[in-house]
Structures are given as C-alpha cells and as structure tokens.
Amino acid sequence: MIGDPKDSGERSLNSLDTVKDWTERVRRRVSGFVSFDGDNAATVVNNYDWTASMSVIDFLRDVGKHFPVNRMLARDTVKRRLESGISYTEFSYVLLQSMDFLSLHKEHGVTLQFGGSDQWGNITGGAELVRRAANGHAHAFATPLVTKADGTKYGKTEGGALWLDPEMMTPYAFHQFWLNVEDEKVVEMLRIFTFLSRDEIEDHEAQTAEKPFLRAAQKRLADEVTTLVHGAAETEQAKAAAAALFGGGDLHALSASTLAAALSETGTASAKRDDLPSVVDLFVEAGLAKSKGEARRTVSEGGAYLNNTRIEDPDLVPTEGDLLGGSWLVLRRGKKNFAGVQVS
C-alpha cells in the first residue's frame, strides 16, 4: 500500500482490496518454489497484520524514535528525490520495512533479511532497529541486481519486467524472453537462474564465444527456466509454437490456448467468420503491409504465407478450413514477420 521511493517520482497508492488480491497471487506463485509442509516449512506473513492496528503515537515512539533524520536524508534515493520532491509517506518508508524486520524477529525469530542491493538501506535499517529496540542481533544479506547488458535493471517501473504469473506473461512469452537474452549476459543468467553444473555452463560459455549464431546457451537457458517456473509440458508447447510460427513446425498441432498465447505477443487483427476479407486486406489490417499494393507485391515476390503455406493468389479468401484452433489465422511476411488474425 506504500512503496519505497524510486528515482522517477512518487508511486501511485493502491486500494486495500487491490493489495489483498496481489498478496494472494504472490503466495500462489511462491508456493511453486518453497514448501509449506514438513520440518522446515515456509511461512507466509502479511505486514498489514502488525501495521494496521498500530497507532500513529506508538509508531512514532516505538519506531521513529530510533531513526536520526540526518541518516535518513543521507540515503541515495532520498538525496536524489529531494530536489524534485518527495512526500513524507515515501520518505518514511524505511521505518516501515525496518519495523517489519523487528516484528519478524520478535514473533518468528528471524535474524537474516535477504534482498537486492537496492534494498540495502532498508535492510540495514531493520537490523539496526532490532539492535536498538530489542537488544537483538540481526544480519543483512544483499546481492547485486540482475541487469541488462546496458546496466539498467529489469523491473515493473523500468519496463521489461518478467512475470511468473501465466496470466500476466504467457509461458510462450516467458520462454521467448530467455531466448532473446544478449550474448554478453547469457552465461551470467545460466549461473544465476539454472542448476546446471559448472562444466555444462563453461561448455555453453565456449559455444557462445565460438559459435554465437547457434544461440545454444540461450536455448538451454530458456528451456531450464521455463521448465522450473511453468513445467516441462509448457516448455515443449512454447518451443513447438515458436517452431511453427517461424515456419519450422506444424501450426495445426498446437492447442488453441498455446496458439492464442503465442499470437497475443505479435500484431493481431480481427475478422468476422461470415465476412472474411482477402489475404491482401488481412496483411494490411494486421500491419504486415502498409498498403494493398505492398501486400500484392509481397505475394508476387513469394514472401507471403498463410498458416505457413506460401500464398500464390493475392485475391485468396481464407475459408473455414483454414482456421487454426477454430478461430485463428497466421499470416507471415518473409521469415520472421508474422501476425495473427482472430476470427469470431
């Protein structure tokens, strides 16, 4: 409900119901990677449980008293935001996250908080609060942020966020993300996100240096991480969809859901089942050609495809039998430019 300060400006505040929904979604995603049963069971807690009933007086006395303002002003993000403006809400965020650490320490015996290096100030603030307010010992553990080749981070705000929830990012798009990792970063990603052996990773490192065009490391990375997050079956569907869309597989073998997911990542157009236009019109509507004249030239030059079959007649009108999964047409121009048409 309150986010930590970011360089670009104030965050938009969300309603309690929205945050509750997000909380449950996060729990479902986390449950795929940790166990909630057994001797070493994970526990999910919600900091709203110990902040909602706390009075302002108690918060200022029990938490705020331990935070010198000069130290809060010295935080990098706060210093950068002072000129452009920062609300008291975001300025005080470090107190909230520190209180979380204190509460977890008191109620669950937590002594270690882990996070990305951008959270270092918040985490150490919590460790210090545990020492000051509870006379306890707590520790901070941070790792460098995973960044793109240009040094920028992946994130919701910065763009390029990688979602684990298939409703927010399809397994096909997830697989494609890893396939498109830069050569400069792919070996680092293999080390961070897979359980491959050191020998296997070094072998991929050599292949990337000697034959980068094979993209062997990217393919292995995409398969490993997609299987970890979505399962082996979804990985195979994503690979089959990519092969089929780029002309190397059978589009008819794809399930309707996989086809829809894959095409949702491309340009799409819509058409009525009882009034299907010609392929030339569809190429224009789907954004594969700027004009009918350009679409006709593409057909005459042999670069236009319908469901991976080369189009010979520019006046061809698709039929019911051409529909994939009962409602899709796949148009392709050349080897890599394709789009979907959803027929309703």
Say if residue 49 is in the same domain as residue 72.
Answer: yes
Residue ending a domain, choose from 226, 251, 276: 251
| CATH number of 191's domain | 1.10.240.10
Residue ending a domain, choose from 224, 251, 278: 251
In a domain, 247, yes or no: yes
Say if residue 26 is in the same domain as residue 108.
Answer: yes
pLDDT at residue 156 above 70? no
Say if residue 37 is in the same domain as residue 103.
Answer: yes
Say if residue 31 is in the same domain as residue 125.
Answer: yes
- Condensed to tens digits (0 to 9), the pLDDT of residues 313-330 reads 989 999 888 888 888 899
In a domain, 3, yes or no: no
User: Can you state the angle between helices 232-245 and 216-230, rounded to 10 degrees?
Assistant: 130
**Looking at residue 236, what is its pLDDT?**
92
Cα(111)–Cα(113) distance, rounded to whole angstroms? 7
If you average pLDDT over every residue of the chain, what do you get? 89
- CA dihedral over 226, 220, 340, 288, signed as positive or negative: positive
Q: H or E stretch including 104?
A: helix 93-108
In a domain, 161, yes or no: no
In a domain, 156, yes or no: no
Say if residue 186 is in the same domain as residue 136.
Answer: no
- Condensed to tens digits (0 to 9), the pLDDT of residues 86-118 reads 888 888 999 999 999 999 999 999 999 999 998
CB contact at 8 A, 316 and 277: no
Say if residue 103 is in the same domain as residue 35.
Answer: yes
Say if residue 134 is in the same domain as residue 175.
Answer: no
**Looking at residue 197, what is its pLDDT?**
97
Say if residue 139 is in the same domain as residue 184.
Answer: no
Structure-block tokens of residue 308: 């991976």
**Looking at residue 291, what is its pLDDT?**
93
| CATH number of 31's domain | 3.40.50.620
Q: Percent of the chain scored above 90 by pLDDT? A: 50
Say if residue 215 is in the same domain as residue 325.
Answer: no
**Looking at residue 87, what is its pLDDT?**
87
**Looking at residue 187, what is its pLDDT?**
96
In a domain, 150, yes or no: no
Say if residue 271 is in the same domain as residue 236.
Answer: no
Say if residue 231 is in the same domain as residue 274.
Answer: no
Burial class (CB in 10 A: 0-12, 13-18, 19+), 317: middle
pLDDT at residue 158 above 60? no
- Condensed to tens digits (0 to 9), the pLDDT of residues 223-235 reads 999 999 999 999 9
Q: How many CB atoms lie within 10 A of CB 138?
A: 21
Q: Which regions of 70-216 does DSSP assign to beta strands (E)?
A: 112-116, 139-143
Q: Give the structural domain span for 300.
A: 266-343
Residue ending a domain, choose from 205, 228, 251: 251
Rounded to the nearest 10°, the torsion over CA 295, 300, 304, 308 is 150
Say if residue 21 is in the same domain as residue 139.
Answer: yes
User: How many structural domains comprise the chain?
Assistant: 3
Higher pLDDT, 162 or 208: 208
| CATH number of 325's domain | 3.10.290.10
Lowest mean pLDDT among 53-57, 108-112, 137-141, 259-263: 259-263
- Condensed to tens digits (0 to 9), the pLDDT of residues 163-214 reads 999 888 889 989 999 999 999 999 999 999 999 999 999 999 999 999 999 9
pLDDT at residue 157 above 70? no
In a domain, 8, yes or no: no
pLDDT at residue 30 above 80? yes
**Looking at residue 280, what is its pLDDT?**
92
**Looking at residue 159, what is its pLDDT?**
60
Mean pLDDT, residues 56-65 taken together: 93
In a domain, 148, yes or no: no
Residue with tokens 């086809």: 259
In a domain, 102, yes or no: yes
Q: Percent of the chain scored above 70 by pLDDT? A: 97
**pLDDT level of residue 61 (50, 70, 90 thresholds):** very high
